[in-house]
Amino acid sequence: MTRNSGQAEGECLQVDIATINFFRMLFRTLFIMIAYCSLMPFEVNGQEGIPIDKGATRETINLYRNLRRVLNKGFMFGHQDDLAYGVGWKYEEGRSDIKDVTGEYPAVYGWELGRLEIDQPFNLDSVPFDKMRQLIRSGYERGGVITISWHLNNPLTGKSAWDPATGTVPSILQGGSRHDLYKTWLDKVAAFLTSLQDKNGKFIPVIFRPYHELNGNWFWWGGKNCSAEEFKNLWKFTVSYLRDEKKLHHLLYAYNTDRFSSRDEYLEKYPGDEWVDVIGFDIYQRNSSNEKFIADIDKMLSTLEEIAKEKNKIPALTEFGGNLSDSSWWTGTFVKGIGNHKISYVLGWRNAGAKSSGEFESYVPYKGHTTEKDFVRFYNMQKTLFESDIKKEKLYQ
């Protein structure tokens, strides 16, 4: 009896210890799961709030989420090469044509990598890459958004991006005669993008916009110069190489056409939802009337919004230019075209000023410009977001 009682007590003790260990492991597992879930992406309007790169840096994820959130507040205004030069000036520290007119910087900064692939020290618009790196950092540190395009040379002919030779795209795909060359070009792009770091060594998020205006026939990757399937394969390979091979995790990928007439045209070369973060289009007024421009941009933005909602993408007006001989163009035409459409940002093209060809190029106002006063009215509108507005939003936190 005594021995049996002791045995029973020992068995109970073993059961109690086993129970304690079980609950200890259970609580430890629950703790790990809670900690892990706190790092997982949350849902925005019932949809995943993360970019296509599931390994994206925290700052890049935050930017992606906040670009969505800010859609409800208005649209960010951006300008290409804003900090590098303007009409009548170049590389003056702290200067900007937008700032000269409004007193503050834009919310979005556009930059260009063309010529990086052929080891030039400056891009196709003569901006030194070392200088560009510094200016990107300064714009980011003020809370601005960085978007970068790439007018890469034709790798098959050695000529510019505007050499529309057919056969170029298949030549750089796997198995093509220029595939290895193309990979070396991507290596150079990856090296530059990797060098974009803040003062603490953290990578600066970038909206990367390669192969833009992809439905136009003027670039070797555009329009009829390659098939839809060839373009899709090029896009997928490029994203995969930068993300998976080069381990770049601070990029959002922007797909954009030029003007388009239908949903089918816009999506003809779309590579798939898992390959795109931002969708947009470029539009220049050229010789059309203000009324036609308003109608065109309104129609295209309606289609873009529908696609963005359906595919859970961020809509943007990735490039634009208008009739700046009209003194009230900003509030009388541009704002009317945008209307109540929800878009993340608009990017005005560069203010090159007087060019050696005799042309004069400007797409946003500068001090003394015809539309300067109207642009200030545009700037003061509640739905136009500039640097001070975006700084409050803390897009990277």
- Residues in a beta bridge with 288: none
- What pLDDT, in 10s, does the model give residues 319-354? 999 999 999 999 999 999 999 999 999 999 999 999
* Residues 92, 3 within the same domain: no
pLDDT per residue as tens digits for the range 287-321: 899 999 999 999 999 999 999 999 999 999 999 99
Q: Which pLDDT band holds residue 37 (cuts at 50, 70, 90)?
A: very low
Same domain, 377 and 324: yes
User: Can you name the residues that pair with 321 across neighbouring β-strands?
Assistant: 284
Whether residues 156 and 64 share a domain: the answer is: yes
Residue closest to 77 by CA, chosen among 278, 392, 345: 345
Whether 45 maps to a domain, the answer reads no
Same domain for 34 and 142, yes or no, is no
pTM of the model: 0.88
Let me know whether 174 and 30 are in one domain: no
Is the domain of 206 the same as that of 90? yes
Q: Has residue 30 got a pLDDT over 90? A: no
Q: Are 111 and 378 in contact (CB under 8 A)?
A: no
Would residue 81 count as lying in a domain? Answer: yes
What is the pLDDT, as a whole number, of residue 73? 96
Using alpha carbons, select from 124, 88, 127, 89 the residue that is nearest to residue 109.
127
How many Å apart are CA 9 and CA 134, to the nearest integer? 74
Statement to judge: residues 193 and 320 lie in one domain: yes
Burial class of residue 95 (count of CB atoms within 10 Å of its CB; 0-12, 13-18, 19+)? middle
Number of independent structural domains in the chain: 2
Percent of the chain residues topping a pLDDT of 70:
88
Most confident of 11-15, 252-256, 358-362: 252-256
- Please tell me which residue, 367 or 27, carries the higher pLDDT value: 367
Burial of 224 (0-12, 13-18, 19+ CB in 10 A): exposed
| 54 and 19 within one domain | no
Residue 123 lies in a domain: yes
**Domain of residue 204, CATH code:** 3.20.20.80
- 261 and 280 together in one domain: yes
- Residue 155: both structure tokens together: 């790798």
Tell me, yes or no, whether 160 and 211 share the same domain: yes
Specify whether 76 is located in the same domain as 106.
yes
Task: Show the tokens assigned to 59.
Answer: 């700052």
Return the number of other C-beta atoms located less than 10 Å from residue 33's C-beta: 10
What pLDDT is attached to residue 48?
Answer: 53
- Domain coverage including residue 278: 50-393
Region 199-209: what's the mean pLDDT?
A: 97
Rounded average pLDDT over 232-251: 98
Residue 358's pLDDT is what?
86
Note whether 103 and 8 are same-domain residues: no
Q: Answer whether residue 120 is part of any domain.
A: yes
In a domain, 165, yes or no: yes
